[in-house]
Chains A and B, each alone.
Chain A
Amino acid sequence: AQKVTQAQTEISVVEKEDVTLDCVYETRDTTYYLFWYKQPPSGELVFLIRRNSFDEQNEISGRYSWNFQKSTSSFNFTITASQVVDSAVYFCALSGVSGTYKYIFGTGTRLKVLA
């Protein structure tokens, strides 16, 4: 069965601090895709990144970086020098070949960045 676990329900940091959001997944598929989405208070989910299971290269995009480690089935997300606008709920999601459209979402991590 496929499963995504985001153990951190809520995190509060002070602006300019770095913060890492954890994501651990389970799947039997050998080919799968991992995603991170941001859900600001407005409700709309915003795509942040997609990573396939064969690409373990870490990625950096501005203040965002992602650490994908198949050995530990983790796909962690780090925000460097956090800002108040980063406050949102962040979802990690998994999609496998067996159900290509079926995204399994984690329960989300609510990030509060305090000024």
Chain B
Amino acid sequence: GAVVSQHPSRVICKSGTSVKIECRSLDFQATTMFWYRQFPKQSLMLMATSNEGSKATYEQGVEKDKFLINHASLTLSTLTVTSAHPEDSSFYICSVGDRGYSTNEKLFFGSGTQLSVL
């Protein structure tokens, strides 16, 4: 199964700064990775699908200029929260589909990043 490494696990930043979160697929090359957001005691909401070599696909209501996604290689996707504000404080978690592409196979999740914006 895939091992997904996500860093950092926790970040605290000042309002107005940008924060980059990395997601790495350690076991195989992933053409597609997924970014989720989870508010406290709530469910996971898909934010966007990160596609290697092309633009990310964002879900309705997610600002693409706010949440920049770069799928730099087949093993790395980054999510940058630009000009972060307190309302962006949340738990962000990335995932990779089994065999590296979008199917109904199980997703493997990173350990998540807790972002706190002061």
Interface of A with B (CB < 8 Å)?
Answer: 33, 35, 37, 42-47, 50, 52, 91, 95, 97, 100-103, 105-108, 110
Contacts and interface: CB of A to CB of B under 8 A. Distances in A.
B105 interface: yes
A50 B109 contact: no
Interface stretch (B21-29, B43-51, B61-69, B79-87): B43-51
B106 A50 contact: yes
Interface residues of B, number: 27
A101 B111 contact: no
B105 to A, nearest CB: 7
Given A43-B112, A44-B112, A45-B93, A103 B43 contact: no
Nearest to A47: B106
Interface of B: 1, 9, 32, 34, 41-46, 49, 91, 93, 95, 97, 102-112, 114
Contacts of A45: 44, 93, 95, 107, 109
Contact of A101 (B42, B45, B49): B49
18 contacts: A33-B104, A43-B9, A43-B91, A44-B110, A45-B93, A45-B95, A45-B107, A47-B108, A50-B104, A52-B104, A97-B104, A100-B102, A100-B103, A100-B104, A101-B102, A102-B46, A108-B41, A110-B41
B93 A103 contact: no
